[in-house]
Chains A and B, each alone.
Chain A
Amino acid sequence: MTTPLLATDKLSAMYGKFTAVKNVSLTFAPNRVHALIGPSGCGKSTFLRTLNRMHENTPGAWIVGRVLLEGADVYAPEVSPMRLRRRVGMVFQKPTPFPTMSIFDNVAAGLRLDRGRSRTEVAEIVERSLRRAALWDEVKDRLGASALGLSGGQQQRLCIARSIAPEPEVILLDEPTASLDPLGTQRIEELVFELKRDYTIIIVTHNMQQAARVSDTTTFFYLGTMVEHGPTRQLFTTPREEQTEAYITGRFG
Protein backbone atom coordinates (compact mmCIF):
# COMPACT_ATOMS: atom_id res chain seq x y z
CA MET A 1 0.00 0.00 0.00
CA THR A 2 1.21 3.46 -0.93
CA THR A 3 1.65 6.10 1.76
CA PRO A 4 -1.50 8.11 2.38
CA LEU A 5 -1.61 11.59 0.86
CA LEU A 6 -4.53 12.64 2.95
CA ALA A 7 -5.74 11.27 6.25
CA THR A 8 -8.14 12.13 9.01
CA ASP A 9 -7.45 11.35 12.63
CA LYS A 10 -10.39 11.02 15.02
CA LEU A 11 -12.21 13.73 13.11
CA SER A 12 -15.60 14.97 14.29
CA ALA A 13 -17.50 17.79 12.60
CA MET A 14 -20.17 19.78 14.37
CA TYR A 15 -22.81 22.37 13.52
CA GLY A 16 -23.39 24.12 16.83
CA LYS A 17 -24.42 21.32 19.18
CA PHE A 18 -25.20 18.85 16.42
CA THR A 19 -22.49 16.37 15.54
CA ALA A 20 -22.64 15.54 11.82
CA VAL A 21 -19.48 13.45 11.63
CA LYS A 22 -18.32 11.32 14.55
CA ASN A 23 -14.74 10.31 15.17
CA VAL A 24 -13.68 9.31 11.70
CA SER A 25 -10.15 8.11 11.00
CA LEU A 26 -9.46 7.40 7.36
CA THR A 27 -6.54 7.37 4.96
CA PHE A 28 -6.60 8.21 1.26
CA ALA A 29 -3.83 6.86 -0.96
CA PRO A 30 -2.59 9.02 -3.84
CA ASN A 31 -3.78 8.56 -7.41
CA ARG A 32 -6.85 6.65 -6.41
CA VAL A 33 -10.55 7.41 -6.56
CA HIS A 34 -12.17 7.20 -3.16
CA ALA A 35 -15.95 7.08 -2.94
CA LEU A 36 -17.99 8.16 0.08
CA ILE A 37 -21.45 6.64 0.12
CA GLY A 38 -24.36 6.56 2.52
CA PRO A 39 -27.94 7.75 2.87
CA SER A 40 -28.83 11.47 2.89
CA GLY A 41 -27.74 13.24 6.03
CA CYS A 42 -25.17 10.60 6.93
CA GLY A 43 -22.40 13.20 7.12
CA LYS A 44 -20.48 12.29 3.98
CA SER A 45 -20.71 15.78 2.45
CA THR A 46 -19.82 17.40 5.76
CA PHE A 47 -16.86 15.08 6.03
CA LEU A 48 -15.77 16.08 2.52
CA ARG A 49 -16.06 19.77 3.40
CA THR A 50 -13.80 19.37 6.43
CA LEU A 51 -10.99 18.18 4.13
CA ASN A 52 -10.52 21.59 2.47
CA ARG A 53 -11.84 23.57 5.44
CA MET A 54 -15.00 24.65 3.63
CA HIS A 55 -16.92 23.33 6.62
CA GLU A 56 -15.83 26.25 8.79
CA ASN A 57 -17.54 28.74 6.46
CA THR A 58 -20.91 27.62 7.75
CA PRO A 59 -21.86 29.75 10.78
CA GLY A 60 -21.56 27.72 13.97
CA ALA A 61 -19.51 24.96 12.37
CA TRP A 62 -16.47 23.51 14.12
CA ILE A 63 -14.36 20.38 14.26
CA VAL A 64 -12.39 18.21 16.64
CA GLY A 65 -9.55 16.00 15.49
CA ARG A 66 -7.04 16.37 12.69
CA VAL A 67 -6.91 16.35 8.91
CA LEU A 68 -3.44 15.51 7.64
CA LEU A 69 -2.24 16.45 4.19
CA GLU A 70 1.14 14.85 3.58
CA GLY A 71 1.39 14.41 7.33
CA ALA A 72 0.78 18.06 8.24
CA ASP A 73 -2.37 19.11 10.08
CA VAL A 74 -4.39 21.41 7.82
CA TYR A 75 -6.12 22.88 10.87
CA ALA A 76 -2.82 24.02 12.40
CA PRO A 77 -2.94 27.74 13.23
CA GLU A 78 -0.25 28.66 10.70
CA VAL A 79 -2.09 27.03 7.80
CA SER A 80 -4.05 29.41 5.59
CA PRO A 81 -7.34 27.90 4.41
CA MET A 82 -6.88 29.81 1.12
CA ARG A 83 -3.54 28.09 0.46
CA LEU A 84 -4.97 24.73 1.51
CA ARG A 85 -7.87 25.04 -0.93
CA ARG A 86 -5.45 25.57 -3.76
CA ARG A 87 -3.96 22.17 -2.95
CA VAL A 88 -7.34 20.56 -2.35
CA GLY A 89 -9.77 21.61 -5.07
CA MET A 90 -13.53 21.11 -4.96
CA VAL A 91 -16.41 20.69 -7.38
CA PHE A 92 -20.00 20.96 -6.19
CA GLN A 93 -23.27 19.24 -6.85
CA LYS A 94 -24.68 22.05 -8.97
CA PRO A 95 -22.41 23.44 -11.69
CA THR A 96 -21.19 26.83 -10.51
CA PRO A 97 -19.62 28.71 -13.42
CA PHE A 98 -19.07 32.39 -12.60
CA PRO A 99 -21.83 34.09 -14.59
CA THR A 100 -19.92 37.31 -15.24
CA MET A 101 -16.91 35.54 -16.66
CA SER A 102 -16.23 34.02 -20.06
CA ILE A 103 -15.37 30.34 -20.43
CA PHE A 104 -11.68 31.27 -20.57
CA ASP A 105 -11.84 33.51 -17.51
CA ASN A 106 -13.70 30.86 -15.55
CA VAL A 107 -10.88 28.39 -16.03
CA ALA A 108 -8.30 31.10 -15.38
CA ALA A 109 -10.09 32.29 -12.22
CA GLY A 110 -7.92 30.29 -9.82
CA LEU A 111 -4.73 31.25 -11.67
CA ARG A 112 -5.42 34.95 -11.24
CA LEU A 113 -4.58 34.58 -7.57
CA ASP A 114 -0.86 34.35 -8.33
CA ARG A 115 0.90 37.30 -9.77
CA GLY A 116 3.60 37.07 -12.35
CA ARG A 117 2.15 34.51 -14.72
CA SER A 118 2.40 35.64 -18.31
CA ARG A 119 -0.64 35.70 -20.57
CA THR A 120 0.73 32.93 -22.73
CA GLU A 121 1.35 30.81 -19.66
CA VAL A 122 -2.24 31.36 -18.48
CA ALA A 123 -3.56 30.55 -21.95
CA GLU A 124 -1.53 27.34 -22.00
CA ILE A 125 -2.79 26.24 -18.60
CA VAL A 126 -6.37 27.03 -19.58
CA GLU A 127 -6.07 24.95 -22.73
CA ARG A 128 -4.42 22.08 -20.88
CA SER A 129 -7.06 22.12 -18.16
CA LEU A 130 -9.91 22.19 -20.67
CA ARG A 131 -8.33 19.30 -22.58
CA ARG A 132 -7.96 17.29 -19.39
CA ALA A 133 -11.57 18.01 -18.53
CA ALA A 134 -12.53 16.72 -22.01
CA LEU A 135 -14.15 20.03 -22.88
CA TRP A 136 -11.57 21.69 -25.15
CA ASP A 137 -12.98 20.51 -28.47
CA GLU A 138 -16.45 21.72 -27.54
CA VAL A 139 -15.44 25.22 -26.43
CA LYS A 140 -12.21 26.08 -28.24
CA ASP A 141 -14.05 28.31 -30.72
CA ARG A 142 -15.97 30.22 -28.10
CA LEU A 143 -13.61 30.77 -25.19
CA GLY A 144 -14.74 34.39 -24.94
CA ALA A 145 -18.42 33.50 -24.69
CA SER A 146 -20.42 33.36 -21.49
CA ALA A 147 -20.07 30.13 -19.54
CA LEU A 148 -23.82 30.15 -18.99
CA GLY A 149 -24.36 29.17 -22.63
CA LEU A 150 -22.98 25.70 -21.94
CA SER A 151 -25.14 22.69 -21.09
CA GLY A 152 -25.27 21.45 -17.50
CA GLY A 153 -22.80 18.66 -18.21
CA GLN A 154 -20.43 21.02 -20.00
CA GLN A 155 -20.69 23.50 -17.13
CA GLN A 156 -19.75 20.76 -14.70
CA ARG A 157 -16.72 19.81 -16.80
CA LEU A 158 -15.85 23.51 -16.92
CA CYS A 159 -15.93 23.56 -13.13
CA ILE A 160 -13.64 20.53 -13.09
CA ALA A 161 -11.28 22.32 -15.50
CA ARG A 162 -11.40 25.37 -13.23
CA SER A 163 -10.54 23.31 -10.17
CA ILE A 164 -7.62 21.49 -11.83
CA ALA A 165 -6.09 24.59 -13.44
CA PRO A 166 -4.16 25.62 -10.29
CA GLU A 167 -2.76 22.05 -10.11
CA PRO A 168 -4.19 20.81 -6.81
CA GLU A 169 -3.10 17.49 -5.37
CA VAL A 170 -6.55 16.37 -4.28
CA ILE A 171 -9.91 16.99 -5.94
CA LEU A 172 -13.08 16.73 -3.87
CA LEU A 173 -16.22 16.01 -5.86
CA ASP A 174 -19.47 16.56 -3.98
CA GLU A 175 -22.11 14.61 -5.89
CA PRO A 176 -20.83 16.01 -9.18
CA THR A 177 -23.39 14.22 -11.32
CA ALA A 178 -26.50 14.68 -9.18
CA SER A 179 -27.89 17.38 -11.48
CA LEU A 180 -26.82 15.83 -14.79
CA ASP A 181 -28.50 13.59 -17.34
CA PRO A 182 -27.18 10.03 -17.98
CA LEU A 183 -24.92 11.12 -20.84
CA GLY A 184 -23.42 13.99 -18.83
CA THR A 185 -22.96 11.61 -15.92
CA GLN A 186 -21.16 9.08 -18.07
CA ARG A 187 -18.74 11.70 -19.36
CA ILE A 188 -17.91 12.89 -15.84
CA GLU A 189 -17.33 9.31 -14.75
CA GLU A 190 -14.96 8.69 -17.65
CA LEU A 191 -13.22 11.90 -16.75
CA VAL A 192 -12.82 10.89 -13.10
CA PHE A 193 -11.19 7.68 -14.27
CA GLU A 194 -8.78 9.69 -16.44
CA LEU A 195 -7.99 12.26 -13.78
CA LYS A 196 -6.80 9.80 -11.20
CA ARG A 197 -3.54 9.45 -13.08
CA ASP A 198 -2.63 12.97 -11.96
CA TYR A 199 -4.79 13.60 -8.93
CA THR A 200 -6.23 11.98 -5.86
CA ILE A 201 -9.99 12.08 -6.05
CA ILE A 202 -12.56 11.84 -3.30
CA ILE A 203 -16.11 11.65 -4.58
CA VAL A 204 -19.33 11.80 -2.60
CA THR A 205 -22.15 10.04 -4.37
CA HIS A 206 -25.69 8.91 -3.78
CA ASN A 207 -25.39 6.53 -6.64
CA MET A 208 -23.95 3.18 -5.60
CA GLN A 209 -23.45 2.00 -9.16
CA GLN A 210 -21.38 5.10 -9.70
CA ALA A 211 -19.25 4.37 -6.67
CA ALA A 212 -18.78 0.80 -7.87
CA ARG A 213 -17.87 1.96 -11.38
CA VAL A 214 -15.39 4.73 -10.68
CA SER A 215 -13.77 4.16 -7.32
CA ASP A 216 -10.89 2.11 -5.98
CA THR A 217 -11.88 2.36 -2.35
CA THR A 218 -15.28 3.04 -0.83
CA THR A 219 -16.30 4.29 2.58
CA PHE A 220 -19.80 3.79 3.88
CA PHE A 221 -21.15 6.40 6.29
CA TYR A 222 -24.23 6.03 8.38
CA LEU A 223 -25.59 8.54 10.92
CA GLY A 224 -22.30 10.40 11.02
CA THR A 225 -20.11 7.41 11.73
CA MET A 226 -17.88 5.53 9.37
CA VAL A 227 -19.29 2.05 9.18
CA GLU A 228 -16.96 0.42 6.72
CA HIS A 229 -13.99 1.33 4.58
CA GLY A 230 -12.25 -0.87 2.09
CA PRO A 231 -11.47 -1.71 -1.51
CA THR A 232 -14.56 -1.01 -3.59
CA ARG A 233 -14.84 -4.51 -5.00
CA GLN A 234 -14.65 -6.06 -1.58
CA LEU A 235 -17.11 -3.62 -0.01
CA PHE A 236 -19.68 -4.26 -2.70
CA THR A 237 -19.26 -8.02 -2.93
CA THR A 238 -18.38 -9.16 0.56
CA PRO A 239 -19.15 -6.37 3.01
CA ARG A 240 -18.01 -7.03 6.54
CA GLU A 241 -20.78 -5.08 8.24
CA GLU A 242 -24.45 -5.92 8.35
CA GLN A 243 -25.43 -2.26 7.79
CA THR A 244 -23.26 -1.94 4.71
CA GLU A 245 -24.82 -4.98 3.17
CA ALA A 246 -28.30 -3.73 3.96
CA TYR A 247 -27.53 -0.39 2.31
CA ILE A 248 -25.86 -1.65 -0.83
CA THR A 249 -28.55 -4.21 -1.43
CA GLY A 250 -31.13 -1.45 -1.16
CA ARG A 251 -32.85 -2.56 2.01
CA PHE A 252 -32.68 0.95 3.42
CA GLY A 253 -31.39 4.43 2.63
Chain B
Amino acid sequence: MNRRTWRRLMSNTMVGLMVAAVVVAVLPLLLILGSLVLRGASSLSLSFFTSTPAPVGDPGGGVLHAIVGTLTIVGLAALVGIPVGIAAGFYCTEYRGTRLATVTRFVADVLNGTPSIVVGVFAWTWVVATQKHFSALAGSVALAVLMIPMVMRTTEELLNLVPTSLREAALALGYPRWRTSLVVVLRTALPGIVTGSLLAVARIAGETAPLLFTALGSEYLTFDVTRPMAALPLVVYKYATGPYPEWHRLAWTASLVLILVVLVLSIAARLATRQRFSRGN
Protein backbone atom coordinates (compact mmCIF):
# COMPACT_ATOMS: atom_id res chain seq x y z
CA MET B 1 0.00 0.00 0.00
CA ASN B 2 1.50 3.34 -0.95
CA ARG B 3 1.66 6.36 1.31
CA ARG B 4 -1.17 8.16 -0.36
CA THR B 5 -3.70 5.34 -0.05
CA TRP B 6 -2.64 4.78 3.54
CA ARG B 7 -3.11 8.41 4.38
CA ARG B 8 -6.55 8.50 2.81
CA LEU B 9 -7.59 5.32 4.60
CA MET B 10 -6.39 6.72 7.90
CA SER B 11 -8.20 9.99 7.32
CA ASN B 12 -11.46 8.26 6.45
CA THR B 13 -11.21 6.01 9.49
CA MET B 14 -10.72 8.98 11.80
CA VAL B 15 -13.56 10.95 10.25
CA GLY B 16 -15.71 7.84 10.56
CA LEU B 17 -14.88 7.54 14.26
CA MET B 18 -15.80 11.17 14.82
CA VAL B 19 -19.11 10.76 13.01
CA ALA B 20 -19.81 7.73 15.19
CA ALA B 21 -19.09 9.79 18.30
CA VAL B 22 -21.45 12.51 17.12
CA VAL B 23 -24.19 9.94 16.52
CA VAL B 24 -23.69 8.49 20.00
CA ALA B 25 -23.92 11.98 21.46
CA VAL B 26 -27.01 13.06 19.55
CA LEU B 27 -28.93 9.79 19.42
CA PRO B 28 -30.22 9.84 23.02
CA LEU B 29 -31.47 13.38 22.52
CA LEU B 30 -33.29 12.44 19.34
CA LEU B 31 -34.75 9.33 20.97
CA ILE B 32 -36.01 11.37 23.92
CA LEU B 33 -37.55 14.01 21.68
CA GLY B 34 -38.99 11.32 19.41
CA SER B 35 -40.68 9.36 22.15
CA LEU B 36 -41.95 12.56 23.77
CA VAL B 37 -43.62 13.61 20.57
CA LEU B 38 -44.83 10.09 19.87
CA ARG B 39 -46.42 9.55 23.25
CA GLY B 40 -47.19 13.10 24.26
CA ALA B 41 -48.43 14.77 21.12
CA SER B 42 -51.61 12.71 20.93
CA SER B 43 -53.00 14.32 24.10
CA LEU B 44 -51.77 17.75 23.11
CA SER B 45 -54.70 20.04 22.53
CA LEU B 46 -55.59 23.63 23.17
CA SER B 47 -57.45 22.70 26.34
CA PHE B 48 -54.28 21.08 27.67
CA PHE B 49 -52.77 24.56 27.84
CA THR B 50 -55.90 26.37 29.01
CA SER B 51 -57.49 24.19 31.67
CA THR B 52 -56.61 22.75 35.04
CA PRO B 53 -56.70 19.01 35.83
CA ALA B 54 -59.97 17.12 35.52
CA PRO B 55 -60.96 14.61 38.22
CA VAL B 56 -59.64 11.12 37.61
CA GLY B 57 -61.87 9.31 35.14
CA ASP B 58 -63.14 12.45 33.47
CA PRO B 59 -61.63 13.09 30.05
CA GLY B 60 -59.69 16.22 29.22
CA GLY B 61 -58.10 18.49 31.73
CA GLY B 62 -54.85 20.34 31.31
CA VAL B 63 -51.77 21.66 33.01
CA LEU B 64 -52.41 25.40 32.89
CA HIS B 65 -51.77 25.58 36.63
CA ALA B 66 -48.37 23.94 36.20
CA ILE B 67 -47.36 26.10 33.23
CA VAL B 68 -48.24 29.20 35.22
CA GLY B 69 -46.48 27.72 38.24
CA THR B 70 -43.27 26.92 36.37
CA LEU B 71 -43.18 30.35 34.74
CA THR B 72 -43.77 32.03 38.11
CA ILE B 73 -41.31 29.98 40.14
CA VAL B 74 -38.60 29.99 37.47
CA GLY B 75 -39.25 33.65 36.66
CA LEU B 76 -38.80 34.70 40.27
CA ALA B 77 -35.68 32.56 40.57
CA ALA B 78 -34.23 34.09 37.40
CA LEU B 79 -35.07 37.59 38.61
CA VAL B 80 -32.78 37.05 41.57
CA GLY B 81 -30.35 34.47 40.22
CA ILE B 82 -29.35 36.13 36.95
CA PRO B 83 -28.47 39.62 38.25
CA VAL B 84 -26.70 38.25 41.33
CA GLY B 85 -24.85 35.67 39.21
CA ILE B 86 -23.75 38.23 36.61
CA ALA B 87 -22.69 40.73 39.25
CA ALA B 88 -20.71 38.09 41.15
CA GLY B 89 -19.05 36.88 37.94
CA PHE B 90 -18.26 40.46 37.04
CA TYR B 91 -16.65 41.05 40.42
CA CYS B 92 -14.54 37.92 40.12
CA THR B 93 -13.11 39.03 36.76
CA GLU B 94 -12.60 42.68 37.63
CA TYR B 95 -10.97 41.87 40.95
CA ARG B 96 -9.36 38.64 39.84
CA GLY B 97 -6.53 38.39 42.32
CA THR B 98 -8.40 39.34 45.49
CA ARG B 99 -9.05 36.86 48.25
CA LEU B 100 -12.82 37.40 48.05
CA ALA B 101 -12.81 36.55 44.34
CA THR B 102 -10.82 33.37 44.90
CA VAL B 103 -13.06 32.24 47.75
CA THR B 104 -16.23 33.10 45.82
CA ARG B 105 -15.03 31.15 42.80
CA PHE B 106 -14.24 28.13 44.95
CA VAL B 107 -17.61 28.27 46.72
CA ALA B 108 -19.42 28.62 43.39
CA ASP B 109 -17.66 25.54 42.06
CA VAL B 110 -18.65 23.55 45.14
CA LEU B 111 -22.22 24.80 44.84
CA ASN B 112 -22.28 23.91 41.15
CA GLY B 113 -21.47 20.35 42.07
CA THR B 114 -24.00 20.15 44.91
CA PRO B 115 -26.93 17.81 44.19
CA SER B 116 -30.06 19.89 43.68
CA ILE B 117 -31.97 17.98 46.34
CA VAL B 118 -29.49 19.24 48.93
CA VAL B 119 -30.26 22.77 47.85
CA GLY B 120 -33.95 21.88 48.21
CA VAL B 121 -33.36 20.76 51.79
CA PHE B 122 -31.56 24.02 52.45
CA ALA B 123 -34.52 26.00 51.06
CA TRP B 124 -36.84 23.89 53.20
CA THR B 125 -35.02 24.68 56.43
CA TRP B 126 -34.52 28.29 55.47
CA VAL B 127 -37.97 29.20 54.13
CA VAL B 128 -40.50 26.42 54.62
CA ALA B 129 -39.53 25.52 58.17
CA THR B 130 -39.42 29.14 59.33
CA GLN B 131 -42.71 30.08 57.66
CA LYS B 132 -44.30 26.80 58.66
CA HIS B 133 -45.84 26.17 55.24
CA PHE B 134 -44.81 25.26 51.71
CA SER B 135 -44.71 28.03 49.14
CA ALA B 136 -43.76 28.85 45.56
CA LEU B 137 -41.38 31.40 47.02
CA ALA B 138 -39.42 28.64 48.76
CA GLY B 139 -39.15 26.87 45.41
CA SER B 140 -37.84 30.03 43.79
CA VAL B 141 -35.26 30.41 46.54
CA ALA B 142 -34.01 26.88 45.90
CA LEU B 143 -33.85 27.43 42.15
CA ALA B 144 -32.16 30.83 42.52
CA VAL B 145 -29.47 29.26 44.71
CA LEU B 146 -28.92 26.69 41.97
CA MET B 147 -28.76 29.37 39.29
CA ILE B 148 -26.33 31.81 40.87
CA PRO B 149 -23.16 29.71 40.60
CA MET B 150 -24.05 28.59 37.07
CA VAL B 151 -24.60 32.13 35.82
CA MET B 152 -21.62 33.41 37.75
CA ARG B 153 -19.13 30.95 36.29
CA THR B 154 -20.39 31.42 32.72
CA THR B 155 -20.24 35.20 33.11
CA GLU B 156 -16.72 34.97 34.42
CA GLU B 157 -15.53 32.73 31.61
CA LEU B 158 -17.07 34.94 28.96
CA LEU B 159 -15.69 38.14 30.45
CA ASN B 160 -12.25 36.57 30.51
CA LEU B 161 -12.56 35.96 26.78
CA VAL B 162 -12.78 39.70 26.10
CA PRO B 163 -9.23 40.66 25.03
CA THR B 164 -7.24 42.98 27.30
CA SER B 165 -6.44 45.06 24.23
CA LEU B 166 -10.09 46.18 24.03
CA ARG B 167 -10.06 47.25 27.65
CA GLU B 168 -6.84 49.16 27.05
CA ALA B 169 -8.26 50.81 23.94
CA ALA B 170 -11.17 52.18 25.97
CA LEU B 171 -8.92 53.31 28.81
CA ALA B 172 -6.63 55.03 26.30
CA LEU B 173 -9.63 57.00 25.03
CA GLY B 174 -10.06 58.40 28.52
CA TYR B 175 -12.83 56.06 29.64
CA PRO B 176 -13.03 55.65 33.40
CA ARG B 177 -12.61 52.10 34.57
CA TRP B 178 -16.28 51.53 35.44
CA ARG B 179 -17.34 52.75 32.04
CA THR B 180 -14.75 50.61 30.29
CA SER B 181 -16.03 47.58 32.17
CA LEU B 182 -19.68 48.25 31.41
CA VAL B 183 -19.67 49.76 27.93
CA VAL B 184 -16.85 47.77 26.40
CA VAL B 185 -16.13 44.59 28.35
CA LEU B 186 -19.61 43.63 29.55
CA ARG B 187 -21.26 44.64 26.31
CA THR B 188 -18.82 42.60 24.25
CA ALA B 189 -19.51 39.52 26.34
CA LEU B 190 -23.25 40.14 26.65
CA PRO B 191 -24.60 37.80 23.95
CA GLY B 192 -22.68 34.94 25.49
CA ILE B 193 -23.81 35.85 28.99
CA VAL B 194 -27.44 35.89 27.86
CA THR B 195 -27.04 32.47 26.29
CA GLY B 196 -25.39 31.20 29.45
CA SER B 197 -28.14 32.63 31.66
CA LEU B 198 -30.69 31.04 29.41
CA LEU B 199 -29.08 27.65 29.65
CA ALA B 200 -29.23 28.09 33.41
CA VAL B 201 -32.95 28.93 33.19
CA ALA B 202 -33.53 25.91 30.99
CA ARG B 203 -31.69 23.70 33.43
CA ILE B 204 -33.52 24.82 36.53
CA ALA B 205 -36.90 24.79 34.75
CA GLY B 206 -36.59 21.02 34.69
CA GLU B 207 -35.50 20.64 38.31
CA THR B 208 -37.89 18.45 40.29
CA ALA B 209 -36.09 17.49 43.47
CA PRO B 210 -35.68 20.98 44.97
CA LEU B 211 -39.37 21.72 44.35
CA LEU B 212 -40.69 18.56 46.01
CA PHE B 213 -40.49 19.95 49.52
CA THR B 214 -40.60 23.65 48.76
CA ALA B 215 -43.24 24.51 46.15
CA LEU B 216 -44.84 21.12 46.88
CA GLY B 217 -47.31 21.19 43.99
CA SER B 218 -50.99 22.00 43.76
CA GLU B 219 -54.07 21.03 41.78
CA TYR B 220 -55.30 24.56 41.41
CA LEU B 221 -54.38 27.56 39.37
CA THR B 222 -52.85 30.14 41.68
CA PHE B 223 -50.71 33.23 41.41
CA ASP B 224 -50.11 33.49 45.15
CA VAL B 225 -46.41 32.85 45.64
CA THR B 226 -46.82 32.41 49.38
CA ARG B 227 -48.88 29.25 48.83
CA PRO B 228 -47.93 25.88 47.39
CA MET B 229 -47.85 25.99 43.62
CA ALA B 230 -47.78 23.47 40.79
CA ALA B 231 -44.85 23.19 38.39
CA LEU B 232 -44.42 21.14 35.25
CA PRO B 233 -41.69 18.84 36.61
CA LEU B 234 -43.85 18.17 39.68
CA VAL B 235 -46.84 17.36 37.49
CA VAL B 236 -44.71 15.00 35.42
CA TYR B 237 -43.43 13.36 38.57
CA LYS B 238 -46.89 12.98 40.07
CA TYR B 239 -48.57 11.69 36.90
CA ALA B 240 -45.74 9.38 35.92
CA THR B 241 -45.66 7.70 39.32
CA GLY B 242 -49.46 7.53 39.62
CA PRO B 243 -51.53 4.40 39.10
CA TYR B 244 -53.73 5.47 36.17
CA PRO B 245 -52.82 4.91 32.51
CA GLU B 246 -54.47 8.22 31.69
CA TRP B 247 -52.08 9.96 34.08
CA HIS B 248 -49.14 8.37 32.33
CA ARG B 249 -50.34 9.83 29.08
CA LEU B 250 -50.65 13.24 30.72
CA ALA B 251 -47.13 12.87 32.11
CA TRP B 252 -45.77 12.45 28.58
CA THR B 253 -47.69 15.42 27.33
CA ALA B 254 -46.60 17.56 30.27
CA SER B 255 -42.98 16.61 29.54
CA LEU B 256 -43.42 17.70 25.96
CA VAL B 257 -44.90 21.00 27.15
CA LEU B 258 -41.97 21.52 29.52
CA ILE B 259 -39.54 21.10 26.63
CA LEU B 260 -41.59 23.45 24.48
CA VAL B 261 -41.59 26.12 27.21
CA VAL B 262 -37.80 25.95 27.45
CA LEU B 263 -37.49 26.03 23.67
CA VAL B 264 -39.72 29.09 23.33
CA LEU B 265 -37.75 30.88 26.05
CA SER B 266 -34.46 30.11 24.30
CA ILE B 267 -35.63 31.31 20.92
CA ALA B 268 -37.12 34.48 22.39
CA ALA B 269 -33.92 35.40 24.21
CA ARG B 270 -31.80 34.67 21.14
CA LEU B 271 -33.93 36.99 19.06
CA ALA B 272 -33.82 39.67 21.73
CA THR B 273 -30.02 39.73 21.93
CA ARG B 274 -29.20 39.49 18.26
CA GLN B 275 -26.37 41.87 17.42
CA ARG B 276 -27.83 45.03 15.95
CA PHE B 277 -26.07 48.05 14.59
CA SER B 278 -27.29 51.59 14.67
CA ARG B 279 -27.86 53.36 11.42
CA GLY B 280 -25.02 55.74 12.24
CA ASN B 281 -26.81 58.92 13.20
A residues near B, CB below 8 A? 52, 54, 57, 59, 82-86, 89-90, 92, 94, 96, 98-100, 102-105, 109-110, 113, 119, 122-123, 126, 143-146, 159, 162-163, 166
Q: How many residues of B contact A (CB 8 A)?
A: 24
- Which B residues lie within 8 Å of A89 (CB)? 172-173
A166 smallest CB distance to B (angstroms): 7
Q: Are A83 and B281 in contact (CB under 8 A)?
A: no
Query: Known interface pairs A144-B278, A144-B279, A145-B277. Does A98 touch B169 (Cβ–Cβ under 8 Å)?
Result: yes
The B136-189 residues at the A interface (CB cut-off 8 A) are 163, 165-166, 168-176, 179, 184, 187-188
Query: Known interface pairs A89-B173, A145-B277. Does A98 touch B165 (Cβ–Cβ under 8 Å)?
Result: no
The docked-state distance in angstroms from the alpha carbon of A144 to that of B173 is 21
The docked-state distance in angstroms from the alpha carbon of A143 to that of B176 is 26
Q: Are B174 and A104 in contact (CB under 8 A)?
A: no
Q: Are A104 and B184 in contact (CB under 8 A)?
A: no
Is B5 interfacial (CB 8 A cutoff)? no
Q: Are B173 and A146 in contact (CB under 8 A)?
A: no
Chain B residue with minimal CB distance to A86?
A: B174
Q: Are B172 and A122 in contact (CB under 8 A)?
A: no
A61 smallest CB distance to B (angstroms): 13
Q: Are B174 and A85 in contact (CB under 8 A)?
A: yes
Query: B166, B172, B179: which has the most chain A beta carbons within 10 Å?
Result: B172
**Can you give 16 A-B contacts (C-beta < 8 A)?**
A52-B172, A54-B172, A57-B171, A82-B174, A86-B173, A96-B168, A96-B169, A98-B184, A100-B275, A102-B280, A104-B278, A105-B278, A109-B170, A113-B173, A145-B277, A163-B173
- Which B residues lie within 8 Å of A103 (CB)? 280
- Which A residues lie within 8 Å of B184 (CB)? 98, 100
Cβ-neighbour of A82 out of B165, B176, B187 (below 8 A): B176
B117 smallest CB distance to A (angstroms): 40
A192 smallest CB distance to B (angstroms): 17
Cβ-neighbour of A54 out of B166, B168, B188, B280 (below 8 A): B168
The docked-state distance in angstroms from the alpha carbon of A94 to that of B190 is 23
Beyond the given pairs A96-B163, A98-B166, 16 more chain A to chain B contacts, judged by CB atoms under 8 angstroms and listed by A's residue number, are A83-B174, A85-B172, A86-B173, A89-B173, A92-B172, A98-B170, A99-B188, A100-B184, A100-B188, A104-B278, A109-B170, A113-B175, A113-B179, A123-B281, A145-B277, A163-B172
